[in-house]
Amino acid sequence: TQLLEQSPQFLSIQEGENLTVYCNSSSVFSSLQWYRQEPGEGPVLLVTVVTGGEVKKLKRLTFQFGDARKDSSLHITAAQPGDTGLYLCAGAQGGNKLVFGAGTILRVKS
């Protein structure tokens, strides 16, 4: 059983569609980060959310941290092929480490 559950595991959509990826836990996190990983490369940080209920926008990407700081979502508007990749959420519990979810593999077809 993983501390952070991500859903869906795989998502294949057409260019221009909207999508939402979820990151859920029964534990509270002091902060939560979202990373994107492309094939052959390491994960790259997209955003960090810290406050319960916080919403952050990064161009067509909208990130939300749940009010209870146990879950988060990533919404992509009008997806593009360049959005293709593995999306990872990671939570900090104050134990000097990040715990990663298993990731969502997104494929955007043109």
Partner 1 sequence: DTAVSQTPKYLVTQMGNDKSIKCEQNLGHDTMYWYKQDSKKFLKIMFSYNNKELIINETVPNRFSPKSPDKAHLNLHINSLELGDSAVYFCASSQALPRGNQPQHFGDGTRLSIL
Interaction between residue 94 and partner 1 (CB under 8 A)? yes
Q: Is 102 in the site for partner 1 (CB under 8 A)?
A: yes
Torsion of CA 47, 37, 89, 3, to 10 degrees: -160
Residues between 73 and 92 that touch partner 1 (CB under 8 A): 86, 88, 92
- Minimum distance of partner 1 from residue 41's CB (angstroms): 5
CB-side exposure of 41: number of CA atoms within 13 Å? 11
Within positions 10 to 69, which residues make up the interface with partner 1, using CB under 8 A?
Answer: 30-31, 33, 37, 40-45, 48, 50
How crowded is the C-beta side of 107, counted as CA atoms within 13 Å?
6
Under 8 Å between Cβ of 57 and 76: no
Q: What pairing do the DSSP bridges indicate for beta strands 104-109 and 10-14?
A: parallel
Among 1, 14, 96, 110, binds partner 1 (CB under 8 A): 96
| Interface contacts to partner 1, rule CB under 8 A | 2, 30-31, 33, 37, 40-45, 48, 50, 86, 88, 92, 94, 96-100, 102-103, 105
